[in-house]
Structure 1
Amino acid sequence: MELNLEGRTALVTGSTQGIGAAIALRLARAGARVGINGRDPGRVEEAVAQARKEAPRADLVAVAADLGTEEGAARAQEVLPEVDILVNNLGIFGAKPALEISDEEWRRYFEINVLAAVRLTRMYLPGMMDRGFGRVQYIASDSAVVIPAEMIHYGMSKTALLAVSRGFAKEAAGTGVTVNSVIAGPTHTGGVEDFVYQLVDRDLPWDEAQRTFMREHRPQSLLQRLIEPEEIANLVVYLSSEQASATTGGAVRVDGGYVDSILP
């Protein structure tokens, strides 16, 4: 299957590292013009330079903006006035006992993990609908369905994205625009390495720490390993393509069989 995104412009939020960086690179390799986003201009430029090393012919745009704010969203639109593919990847996570999560933290998780994506969707979706093509995706998580006891504020925000995705898919019905959420399973990123070491012995070598984490904290994974970011990116690129034109309003899983369900 040839996934050709030439002529399309994409914005991947929170894409200077981890899953976002992998998605941006894979979209660029498929031919899309890709906006790489982060808050720090220096880190954004570094991410663009690294992506160009891996894909020398990539058409990349630096989008240095804090998309957790209205001002940051407006800045992104100045750099990329129109977007054909919007990948809402920006998110924060961390472990905290449920009864110790403050009101401020609840609001912060909602504003960054949910409201930022809603704001950008409101910004870019009308243009997609007018042009008769668009792809909006929300990078959700198995935590949306299997709420982790150690970070229910994070789980809440990812559950909200499933509802947001389904609702905007209805708004875009019949326009040629698809809207989906991607349920990513436990994935190997630098941030997740830090999270793993919050829950297992920090003196363990990484391979052993990973196995211990999966065995003790994610035993339902059928993959029995962390997913690599490129594996998430492969699904995102497919959903961004013409070939995925009949997939909309869905919560599409790339979770390593983590969610114990025969339905998406």
Structure 2
Amino acid sequence: CLVKKKIEETNIFYDTLEFSVANDGQINSSTDIVVSSYSDEELFCLQINSSHIVQKINQSIISAQKTTNTIKYWTTLRFGFCGNISLEDEHGRSWLAQRTYLQWPIKYIGITGGYLMKTCSQKTPTWEVNGTNEQHIPLFVNKKHLVLTLISPQTFNPIFNICGSQFKLGMSNGSLISGNSSGPLVAGRKQIFLEYVIPEEISLQVKDKDGNVIHEARCQEKPKIIFVKGNRKEKFFVVQHLKETGDEESTALHLISIYTITVLIGTLSVIILTITTQLFSLTVLRVSAFSPDISQII
């Protein structure tokens, strides 16, 4: 369920590719699906925006249709490429008025534009936050409030930015608070709730699981995106829950396991390198100790 900027497939042994996409909120933004042949001489492109779906082969338009199907919130699409090109949503509705036939074997499929993730049955898009690189998390789901779970196997310091209002989320006396005086979040899972202030819905409150307000951001209009980053060399995950489900625990454990294994492998590599260096040094010392003094022999 990791959210990516690009989905790429090269070892293709199937005839359909299912993925989920959310619009990034930009005017005239589009999602592009590119398919290339083994010779790289044939190139098919499918462009999807808010008003049209365009099909191209080698940059030449072969079909352009107006469409009422739009990508909003998280939309699951199934792209078929065995023979006739097809595109269907999760309700089985076809998005293409004309199906293009590809006569060549496919080497590569690339998808770009918007927020992308492969099939995620848990409906939990997950962002990986690395250090001070900001992640953009959309809020344009059709809900009054959103649930975010922050996951890390180590202590971490998430920094949020909502409508220009930046705050650090931390802990004090076992409770979630905001502010520079707070301590880091302990390893594990922490859940926060983002709730629009009714009726204007131009302010967004950040609450803990008990409903206590941690931070309130006042905006000029209804906020549609938040920014999240960490401190240098920190790595953690932000999970957005689109439905009530019991799968959050397995998602959290899976992410923590992957990260923990990665850290352990890195640590083990350093230990092995250190031991190897020490053994080499001991070998050199032993050789030096048993080597005859050349000056005495002469």
TM-score normalised to structure 2 length: 0.23
Larger Rg: 2
User: When you count helix as a share of all residues, which structure comes out higher?
Assistant: 1
Give the TM-score taking structure 1 as reference length: 0.25
